[in-house]
Amino acid sequence: MTNKEQLFRAAGIIPIPKHKPAPIPEKQKKSKPSDDNKDDEGKKESQADALIRIATTEAFLFHDKAKDGYASITINGHKETWPLGSRFFRQWLVRRYYEQTEKSPNSEALRQALNVIEAKAIFDGPEIKLSLRVAEYENALWYDLANGAWQAVRITPDGWAVVDSPPILFRRFKNTAAQVLPERGGSLDLLKKYINLKDKEDWLLLIALIIHTYIPGIPHAIPVFYGDKGAAKTTAQRVIRKLVDPAIRDTMTLPNDKNELVLMLMTNYAPCFDNLDGLSPWQSDMLCQAATGGGISKRELYTDMDEVILSFLRCPMLNGINLVASRDDLLDRSVLFKLDRIDEENRKTEKEFWQEFETDRPLILGAISDTLAGALKIYPTVKLPALPRMADFATWGYAIMEAADGAGLAFLQAYRKNIAGAVEEAVTNDIIGAAVIEFMTDKDEWKGTATDLIEKLNELPSVDEKDKAWPKRPNTLTRRLNRIKSALADYGIRVNTDYRTATQRLILLQRVDNLSSFASYRHESSNANTYTDDDIMTVDDDNENISSFWETLNNQGYDGNDANDDFFADLPQEDG
């Protein structure tokens, strides 16, 4: 003890001892930045810079046509494609940062990094077209299995195969579910166990329609199921969806909001709208756009001028007790299937039915792939004498059914008959169309002013002038006639609302023998035997010399064929 300390103690003062600070545990010591966290000048790398480095070195950055950024990243040995704005990509980026630094990036660093990453994807990355479920690439069709391994099926005229590392072609949405792996050795006849169709012609149409959905970039016909309750209409749609576009939620209610319907069409390749009572005009028009290609654009935010463009080409399906497709444009794009109620002795439990279907699904998918490969070989050689509104479906349907079992001509006859049924539905379900048919029952021709015609129609016993849907003014009648005149022409009544004399503008109604013979096909097909197989399809002796089946497809341009009077004018019937 020092003299100073002794004096303090004698005075009763106890000095406070000086302690050394306690050693910091090893885990709490701040690690020095390693060389890996320094830039080229030896400075410490910021969190944002580290995140940017990870994204640019470990992910392939690109953008689509709409200038939205994407990244192709490696997950468990395979490549996955994700939007840069998705939560999955952010989680992947944070995880890789933590694996390298054992730290979590702060939210501001993450925000800054994502902004730079998106800019690099848009300005430095290539533009790549992304598709939902089906795509075309290098003269092959590709079908996304949407499974955890990100596999796809590649289909060419030479056959098909499951590819483990496909090119960057697809994007997925939350409702997209995985497809089972297709298996060889199956038959399309297996499908008949699961859909309640009795008519042979309906089967030709349905098989062609299902396989046709695997072809990207072209209009697709809309299957419309209707019939009594207990006819398994919803089940038919669910079976088709599981073969074409499996989903977590496979049936949907048709929304009454336009933006919600657009979102459903954007995020589902083959949406099933179930148990419909009817369609509003805008719903019908949007479903037409979905089948033949369409979309909308709107502001991203109400406070700026940036547009969000939502485009889609989809394969929607509809069902209801009554036929819900009644407007002319939608019926033009539809294939109608009437289902009968299933007898009690033929019913199965849900569990039994779907267990059997899941057993057969891989084999049915394999048969679909086999048939589509054959159709790709046939398609470039198909030359039909005339084409309906859904020209692509008619042409591809012929090739598909020829590849299936040589039933191309039978398919065309069945489609012609189905169109005739749709024409009849369009006309008879329209209050003006039904009145014109009744008015022209005993006439070959009539002409007069719109005022004269509305007075004549008002005299018909079936017309109720007090009906809200009945036109009260001549100009309204003229507009309504213009809307239905295409279907009336197919039915056999030609309407001219602009027939002029020296002093008047008149309406001319004429009963005609329509070259398409729709009227005769309302119940039975024509017995004409003018065309042979060679008139419908010309096949080169050496199919291997065909350079590209896709060139023929891309040159099709028949969407404007609203009223092709010569559609399959004299196709023969096949025996049996």
Mean pLDDT over 263-277 rounds to 93
Q: What's the one-letter identity of residue 169?
A: L
- In angstroms, the CA 308 to CA 297 distance is 5
Instruction: State residue 298's pLDDT score.
Output: 65
The confidence band for 555, taking pLDDT boundaries of 50, 70 and 90, is very low
Instruction: State residue 466's pLDDT score.
Output: 86
pTM: 0.77
Mean pLDDT of the chain: 83
Instruction: State residue 50's pLDDT score.
Output: 96
The confidence band for 503, taking pLDDT boundaries of 50, 70 and 90, is confident
- In angstroms, the CA 247 to CA 174 distance is 9
- In angstroms, the CA 110 to CA 48 distance is 6
| DSSP-assigned states of every residue in 101-120 | HSSPPPHHHHHHHHHHHHHH
Mean pLDDT over 74-79 rounds to 91
Instruction: State residue 557's pLDDT score.
Output: 38
Q: Above 60 in pLDDT, residue 572? A: no
- In angstroms, the CA 573 to CA 528 distance is 7
The confidence band for 568, taking pLDDT boundaries of 50, 70 and 90, is very low
pLDDT digits (tens, 9 = 90+) for 296-350: 776 655 445 566 677 789 999 999 988 888 787 898 899 999 999 998 888 899 9
The confidence band for 535, taking pLDDT boundaries of 50, 70 and 90, is very low
Q: In terms of DSSP H, where are the helices of 129-280?
A: 200-212, 233-244, 258-267
The confidence band for 514, taking pLDDT boundaries of 50, 70 and 90, is low
CB burial string 352-386: b at 16+ within 10 A, e below: ebbeebeebbbbbbbbbbbbbbbbbbbbbbbebeb
Sign, CA torsion 366/371/376/377: positive
DSSP E strands: which ranges in 94-217?
134-136, 141-144, 152-156, 159-163
The confidence band for 421, taking pLDDT boundaries of 50, 70 and 90, is confident
Mean pLDDT over 255-267 rounds to 91
How many other C-beta atoms lie within 10 A of the C-beta of residue 174?
A: 9
Q: What percent of the chain has pLDDT over 70?
A: 79
Instruction: State residue 36's pLDDT score.
Output: 52
CA angle 61/66/71 to nearest 5° reads 20
- In angstroms, the CA 493 to CA 446 distance is 11
Instruction: State residue 4's pLDDT score.
Output: 53
pLDDT digits (tens, 9 = 90+) for 126-165: 999 999 999 999 999 999 999 999 999 999 999 999 999 9
Contacts of 241 (CB under 8 A, 6+ apart): 247, 250, 251, 270, 272, 317
Instruction: State residue 40's pLDDT score.
Output: 56
- In angstroms, the CA 110 to CA 87 distance is 12
Instruction: State residue 422's pLDDT score.
Output: 85
| Structure-block tokens of residue 99 | 């694996």
CB of 184 within 8 A of CB of 364?
A: no
Q: Above 90 in pLDDT, residue 181? A: yes
